[in-house]
Structure 1
């Protein structure tokens, strides 16, 4: 499951966007299509579902949409702003 890291704060619009990296204080600026890909990724549980939403929005083929969404997801993962890992489950300890 793709998600932004806790220290990444997005500001996304249809005209573009940016993501603040709280650790460094730097902004990662996004084009309008990259911002749309991030919005789709944040609203979806899988990359495939996000690519479907992205393809529908821009009238792309499924393969092209998947390529675009994956490129944005991988770039943000490489920059340390997102992760593809599933969050660790916390075990509950029951008291008796």
Structure 2
């Protein structure tokens, strides 16, 4: 589903990859096609896709993840939740959806 040319990031962390590149439409399609996708998987830095979306200020990706059931209370490797990360983000819009 993601792309024919797979990099290690795409193949091991496909949801994180889409969030990193702010591909929210492709993220929606991927999650709709594969409902078994683990939204709480951690990347090598200990972040879930939602943590990454919030940190990067990718509002549309965060919205898609939340609609699909991403857990706001899941902690990253440093013990921060998605909720707490919004407080450190200067993008106020993301605070309202998380």
Which structure ranks higher in relative contact order (CA pairs < 8 Å, sequence separation ≥ 6)?
Answer: 1
Same structural fold, with TM-score higher than 0.5 when normalized by the shorter chain:
no
Larger radius of gyration between Structure 1 and Structure 2: 1
Q: Which has the higher strand share?
A: 1
What TM-score comes out, normalization by structure 2 length?
A: 0.28
Q: Which has the higher helix share?
A: 2
